Structure 1
Amino acid sequence: MSIRSVSRARVLVPVGLLVAAGTAVAALQGQSGGVEGRPQMSVVADSTSSGPPTTARVTAPPTAQVTTPPAVAPTPTATPTSVVPPATAPSPTAPAGAPDAALRNAVDRAEGAVSVAVTDLGTGQSLSYGGTGHDFATASIVKLDILAALLLRTQDLGTTPTAEQRDLATTMIENSDNDSATGLWDEIGADTGLDAANARFGLTSTTAGQDGYWGLTSTTADDQLRLLRQVFTENSLLTPTSRGYVQELLDQVEEDQRWGVGAAAADGDYAVKNGWLPRDSDGLWVINSIGRVERDGHELLIAVVSDGNPTDTDGMRLVESVALAAAVAVAGT
């Protein structure tokens, strides 16, 4: 029961739709027989209960923003009161020429809402494109956030993750295991702990899911890009050891989950965490992908979030096409 995509051939096999006839799809966050409740059981590797119904097909008019930021700011000291300020808002200048048209076309194909944020770590060129004022459920991309919060907490305590925590982190990231995510969610203090960590990370538009529904954490593509900066750049509250640990796990995500932003990696070099979730209210799919890709000598951080997708396969194709178009728009190749 997993989404499968061969990164180079882009072969996609739906996930969650392969449940045997007569078997209810049960989600980590308690979706059993269509009833939403506290966490009960896990069947689909990335499913979480959708909680209160939301309107998945409402899409705000897309806007495009591109900026070349100044030189990297000094690395902040990782103390319990340290906070990474939110990234400077990009200037409202759209990319010129064909790449912008390609990105617009990719976004226009969305049947729901989609948003992308990307930055080139070499040139500093950044882009944010998609519906404004739209919050997206994270599904399992929040697992990267949970791990970052755990590492920040252990740094504050002057310790390192225990062997048990490391085991949970491995299965949570590499296999997108939901029980492992719930275990570490409790370790960081659940929604209160995640919100506190995100305030320090500078994630200004991310709110942790309530009552154990970690998959319903709401976020934006811009905030997910800020989280990726915490993992892949020196301008981070995470120590080099913590960053290296997270990067290693993202590099080893199991093969059938290596779809998404990796479509923009020309040479197949990428690290990724994906999330996928059918909503209880309408059966439409949340499909998200975040990570780092190497493209023709450019190191890019890319975050694509989407909802209102008719099927998981539709969502994966959308996310991959938007990631590729955004990468070309920023890297110019």
Structure 2
Amino acid sequence: MAPHLRKCRTAVAAALTTALLAPIPATAAEAGHPQGAALCTAGRDRTLAARMSQDIRAALSSRAGTVSVAVHDTRTGLVCELASRRRYDSASVAKVLMMEAALRRAQEWRRGLTGWEHRRIRPMITTSDNVAAQRLWSDLGYSYLARFLRRVGTTATTLGSYGRWGLTGTTAADQLRLLGVLTGAHDVLRPGSRAYGLRQMAEVRRDQRWGVPAGMPRGVRAHLKNGWLPRATHGWRVHSVGAFTGGGRTYRIVVLSHDNPSMAYGVRTIERIAQAVHRGLNKGRGVGRPLTPESEISEVPDGSAPAEGKDREPPA
């Protein structure tokens, strides 16, 4: 690593450590959810809902930071929400929005994706390429992206100003809706477009497949996108969103977090929640995806937002 990057990382780590000496308990993420209150409902399966509520709270016990959770399972009707309307900087999970908007635009224009669009979408999702994301964001334009969000029915997602897509504000509830575009929960994309989007998210490279896949059983396929970005306020934003298919069911898991003292800490919090959800929805099935070893979690930001102090400058 170049000396100037090493120096920058050291300075950021020191600043975040100072800012997070008194972290916010994750279990107190939302005043509207008093300790012990049910986080989940599941139609007539009250046992599943109660057990999942308890397991999610247990996964968050003793964890610092601010965490929001949204879960939906098509088979049982399970819905879980914890601080699902709390706003976060989206970091690289905004790339799912861009991909979906590009697919919708192609559909409206009665054509398939162009070669140019495909060459931006694939690396943007599978390797989290930021140059590809910036070009696609500029090509789609603020007005079209805002119109797409309205069509999907998001209520609290606001696009980043000056083209700063990584600072798009979003909530777990809105991210769950955006995942629903790909799983067919909302009538926005045709089946072929949905399948294309899910395929990109299933092929995210190995070192970026941490987060919500943790604890998923064999025979289930993960379609995910993550975001990881430190800022002077709220420390590390560490997010993971994913749709899971297989075994005759589809379910979605969204975990957004900030106030994390490090990326690894945020990843571990997310993975503890994901384990609880996968275990509850797949009783009796062997676990196929373990927790990500901390030695495999990089502390290098995803690069989805500029360095502090440059947020208000328009891109060159």
Match of 2:222 among 270, 277, 299: 270
Partner of 2:49: 95
Partner of 1:312: 263
The yes-or-no answer on 1:189 pairing with 2:189 is: no
8 Å Cα contact 1:298-1:331 kept in structure 2: no
Match of 2:207 among 233, 256, 263: 256
Q: TM-score, normalised by structure 2?
A: 0.75
SS at match of 2:227: strand
8 Å Cα contact 2:85-2:173 kept in structure 1: no
8 Å Cα contact 2:48-2:280 kept in structure 1: no
Take 1:181 and 1:217, find their aligned partners in 2: how far apart are those partners?
A: 13
**Deviation digits for residues 233-279 of structure 1 (CA, Å, limit 9, x no counterpart):** 26321011110110111111111111111013111621111111011
Question: Which structure 2 residues correspond to residues 274-285 of structure 1 after superposition, within 5 A?
Answer: 274-281=226-233, 284-285=235-236
The yes-or-no answer on 1:61 pairing with 2:13 is: no
AA matched with 1:318: T
Take 1:235 and 1:274, find their aligned partners in 2: how far apart are those partners?
A: 22
AA matched with 1:134: R
8 Å Cα contact 2:239-2:256 kept in structure 1: yes
8 Å Cα contact 2:239-2:257 kept in structure 1: yes
SS at match of 2:63: coil
The yes-or-no answer on 1:117 pairing with 2:70 is: yes
AA matched with 2:66: A
- Identical aligned pairs, as a percentage? 33
Shift of 1:328: 3.7
Shift of 1:295: 7.7
Flag structure 1 segments of 5+ consecutive residues without an equivalent. Answer: 1-18, 28-32, 35-52, 71-92
Partner of 1:23: 5
Question: Which stretch has the larger CA shift, 58-67 or 118-127?
Answer: 58-67
Question: Which structure 2 residues correspond to residues 234-249 of structure 1 after superposition, within 5 A?
Answer: 235-249=186-200
More helix by share: 2
AA matched with 2:63: A
Take 1:275 and 1:202, find their aligned partners in 2: how far apart are those partners?
A: 22
Take 2:268 and 2:59, find their aligned partners in 1: how far apart are those partners?
A: 10
Q: Rate the CA distance shift 1:241–1:26 in 2: closer, same or farther, 3 A.
A: farther
AA matched with 2:96: L
Take 1:157 and 1:184, find their aligned partners in 2: how far apart are those partners?
A: 17
Partner of 1:105: 58
Q: Rate the CA distance shift 1:69–1:245 in 2: closer, same or farther, 3 A.
A: farther
AA matched with 2:76: T
Take 1:177 and 1:200, find their aligned partners in 2: how far apart are those partners?
A: 26
Partner of 1:165: 117
8 Å Cα contact 2:217-2:278 kept in structure 1: no
How many aligned positions are there? Answer: 266
Q: Rate the CA distance shift 1:240–1:204 in 2: closer, same or farther, 3 A.
A: same
Q: Rate the CA distance shift 1:205–1:326 in 2: closer, same or farther, 3 A.
A: farther
8 Å Cα contact 1:234-1:240 kept in structure 2: no
8 Å Cα contact 2:69-2:83 kept in structure 1: no
Q: TM-score, normalised by structure 1?
A: 0.71
Take 2:211 and 2:176, find their aligned partners in 1: how far apart are those partners?
A: 15
